Amino acid sequence: MPHVVTDNCRGCRYTDCVASCPVACFHANEVRVYIDPALCIDCGACIPACPVQAIVEEFDLAPEQQHWIRINAEAAQRYPTLRNRLAPLDGAAALRQALGY
């Protein structure tokens, strides 16, 4: 099943996930990224790459996280493909610490 980016990405956008993806399935806006479920090959490489554990295999989503499936699918159509790593957003380190990672 496809992987999805959940809320921890917002305000961090470390993009280590993008560098690990072999099929360029990530799309980005100014605050976070999303995975296109039509392109994700379920390799799982992005999961350990994310420093704030924002990425979850669809099957492992908690009930309260299910909405991220639709959000990723819709946002991937709206925002451009991100193929290369970017610098983390300002405040990413503080957010990471606040999240406990």
The nearer residue to ligand F3S, 38 or 93, going by C-beta atoms, is: 93
| Choice between 40 and 55, CB closer to ligand F3S | 55
The 3-state DSSP composition of the chain as helix, strand, coil percent (nearest 5) reads 40, 15, 50
**Which parts of 29-48 interact with ligand F3S (CB under 6 A)?**
32-33
* Token duo for residue 81: 């493909």
Site for ligand F3S in 2-31 (CB under 6 A): 5, 9, 12-17
CA dist 44 and 65 (Å) reads 18
| Residues in binding contact with ligand F3S, number by CB under 6 A | 15
| Alpha carbons 70 and 20: distance in angstroms, whole number | 23
Binding site for ligand F3S (CB under 6 A): 5, 9, 12-17, 32-33, 49-50, 52, 54-55
